[in-house]
Amino acid sequence: MDRYDKMVLQFRDVLAETERLSPDELQGYQEKLLEPLLLHARQHVPFYAQRLAPVFPGGKLDLGRFNEIPVLTRAQAQANAKALAAVDLPPHVGNVETEETSGSTGRPFVHRRNSLVTIANLGLTDRVLRWWDFDGNKTMATFISRHPERAPPPGGTTVTGWRTGFSGKHHLIDMWADTDVQIDWLSERRPHYLTAYSSTLLALAERVQKRGTSLHFERINSIATAMSDEIRQACHDVFGARPIDQYGAQEVGLMACECAVCGHYHVSAEAMRVEILRDDGTPCSPGETGRVVVTSFYNYAMPFIRYEIGDYAVAGPVKVKCPVKLPTLTGVLGRYRNTFTLKDGRIIYPYVQIGRFRDFIPFGQVQVVQTAYDAVEVRYVPLSDAKADEEGLQAYLREAIDPSLNVRAVAVDDIPRSASGKFEDFLSLVPRHRA
């Protein structure tokens, strides 16, 4: 076992204690991590030299004014990537590596992180596996993205040890593989567990059911895209397992995960501060939907301080009946580009059962695209020459989403995935209003 593995296991043991801290104790724990990060960023990261002035009145750090630090948008981070990189680093944070997010609207973001971030994220992921009773000696299958050379279809690759300290086989295949190739690959390997994007899970379940194939998993990890009740039900019915929703972002790691006891999402508060904010910048009340803003405690190479991820989430209750005392989210709604902004300024997430579209159009694949504040296109790959019931489709979407929408059905040859390999069932092409 190498040094990094030992550090992951040590952090795992720490997390078993810190997840039970009281709110006041947790705040103290966070402040001990936040203070050196802010001092470092002010001194060694050009972008923050003046930006952190609100928390350094008179040159002395005042964490009570943390919320006065301006929110960092993704567009600002992209435009200032060079200035966000630290010119000097403390030795304890480890080596620096560079990653590139898939980006949205064709604008990827190249960011840096030090080894301490990776170690913390592995520890946080291991905690999720503990919460949900994963056995690291059993087999895991994972659909990976961004690195097709690592696990090219149709055979993918197999390595040992998908969980630190255990010897279970890890089967990997690039997620750009055709769904039928994925099914054949899984059928040959019969893993105990599966990790995939939620949108991939729905497409996989529907295709498995259509083919009459038998695939079952003890556990399913859902990552990267927003979860829905339809996906949960499809996985339960077809695979015999309800997916576990993990919420994260490439820049900061695992931000929250569903709890096996209380059902809420517990925030990874020992590694980051997560804020759910209204458009005016004030904190959301429990049950209220807002923008996700995160501060990563361990990334000194490129500090993300009050970084607006680009997602909406629902603030959770302050107290829940659960042995885990970490802050909660009630739900994660996904990217701004997957929400619809209406004429009156309302921002909604279009909860619609994809399966219902078969009542109106014969599709192999479908995507709902907002093209104007009051207009959507239902783009579909047709399975037959049957004419779409556009009137019925509009009535359904007006009832399910909003009565102001004008709906058009558009047959297409193909619906491409995003740059990271995700299927996006809902996509908005209109700009967001902001009060």
Q: How confident is the model at residue 418 (pLDDT cuts 50, 70, 90)?
A: low
What is the reported pLDDT for 12?
A: 95
d(CA 99, CA 78): 13
- Tell me, yes or no, whether 255 and 352 share the same domain: no
**Is the confidence at residue 77, as pLDDT, over 90?**
yes
Whichever domain contains 346, its CATH number is: 3.30.300
- What is the tens place of the pLDDT at every residue in 253-287? 999 999 999 999 999 999 999 999 998 999 999 99
With tokens 């895209």, the residue in question is 225
Question: Residue 417's pLDDT is what?
Answer: 72
* Res 434 pLDDT > 50: no
The share of the chain scoring above pLDDT 90, in percent, equals 74
Domain contains 24: yes
Where are any strands of DSSP class E within 145-238? 157-160, 169-174, 193-197, 219-223
Residue whose structure tokens are 């299927």: 423
Higher pLDDT, residue 206 or 241: 241
Look over the chain and give the mean of its residue pLDDT values, rounded to a whole number. Answer: 92
Q: Please check whether residues 115 and 260 belong to one and the same domain.
A: yes
For the chain, how many structural domains are there in total? 2
Closest CA to 178 of 382, 396, 390, 364: 364
Domain boundary among the residues 335, 359, 386 is at: 335
- Give a yes or no: residue 367 inside a domain: yes
Query: For 193-217, what is the mean pLDDT?
Result: 92
Q: Please give the structure tokens belonging to residue 49.
A: 């030299």
Rounded CA separation 399/394 (Å): 8
Domain limit, last residue, from 316, 335, 354: 335
Give the orientation angle of helix 179-189 with respect to helix 198-211, to 10 degrees.
80
Domain match, 107 and 17 both: yes
What pLDDT does residue 107 have?
56
121 and 42 within one domain: yes
Same domain? For 413 and 395 the reply is yes
- Give me the pLDDT at residue 149, please: 76
Q: Quick one: which of 157, 159, 152, 158 has its CA closest to 178?
A: 152
Whether 318 has a pLDDT exceeding 80, the answer reads yes
Rounded distance between C-alpha atoms, residue 148 and residue 204, angstroms: 19
pLDDT in the model for residue 106 = 46
pLDDT tops 80 at residue 234: yes
* Structure-token pair, residue 103: 């980006």
Please report which confidence band the pLDDT of residue 241 belongs to, taking 50, 70 and 90 as the band edges.
Answer: very high
- The Cα–Cα gap between 149 and 140 comes to 19
Residues 345 and 267 in one domain: no
- Give pLDDT, residue 302: 98
Distance, CA of 336 to CA of 433 (rounded, Å): 11
Q: Is residue 76 part of a domain?
A: yes
pLDDT digits (tens, 9 = 90+) for 35-76: 999 999 999 999 999 999 999 999 999 999 999 999 999 889
| Out of 81-95, 101-115, 227-241, least confident range | 101-115
| Predicted pLDDT at 421 | 62
In a domain, 205, yes or no: no
As given in the structure block, the two tokens for residue 28 are 């103290």
Encoded tokens for 169 = 């086989």
Residue 435: is its pLDDT beyond 50? Answer: no
The reply to whether 252 and 361 lie within a common domain is no
- pLDDT for 214: 96
Same domain, 345 and 403: yes
Closest CA to 375 of 425, 348, 340: 340
Give the tens place of pLDDT for each residue, 185-202. 999 999 999 999 887 898
Does any domain span residue 394?
yes
Provide mean pLDDT across the span 7-19. 96
**Long-range Cβ pairs for the range 213-216 (8 Å, 24+):** 213/183, 213/187, 215/183, 215/186, 215/187, 215/239, 216/240, 216/241
> Whole-angstrom Cα distance, residue 35 to residue 151?
41
Whole domain around residue 363: which residue ranges?
340-428
Determine the Cα–Cα distance for residues 115 and 301; give it in Å rounded to an integer. Answer: 9
pLDDT of residue 274: 98
Question: Domain with 78 in it: what CATH number?
Answer: 3.40.50.12780
**Which runs of E-coded beta strand occur in 74-123?**
96-100, 110-114
- Between 129-133, 168-172, 419-423, the lowest mean confidence (pLDDT) is in 419-423
Q: Which residues is 257 bridged to in the sheet?
A: 246, 266
Give the confidence band of 346 by pLDDT, cuts at 50, 70, 90: confident
Note whether 363 and 285 are same-domain residues: no
Residue type, 175: M
| Whole-angstrom distance, CA of residue 290 vs CA of residue 47 | 26
Same domain, 350 and 330: no
Same domain, 288 and 375: no
Q: What is the pLDDT of residue 316?
A: 97
Q: Report the relative pairing of strands 363-372 and 426-428 from DSSP bridges.
A: parallel
Q: Is residue 49 part of a domain?
A: yes
In a domain, 120, yes or no: yes
* Token reading at 150: 């690592």
360 pLDDT above the threshold of 60 = yes
- pLDDT-derived band at 104, boundaries 50, 70, 90: very low
Give the mean pLDDT of 135-162: 90
Of 278, 302, 335, which residue sits at a domain end? 335
Say how far apart CA 58 and CA 393 lie, in whole Å: 61
Nearest-angstrom CA–CA distance, 94 and 35: 19
In the predicted structure, residue 112 carries a pLDDT above the cut 50: yes
CA distances for 262 relative to 20, 145, 152, 324, 414, angstroms: 14, 31, 39, 9, 41
The pLDDT of residue 275 is 98
- What was the pLDDT predicted at 105? 42
Q: What is the pLDDT of residue 333?
A: 83
In this structure, the answer to whether residues 34 and 75 fall within a common structural domain is: yes
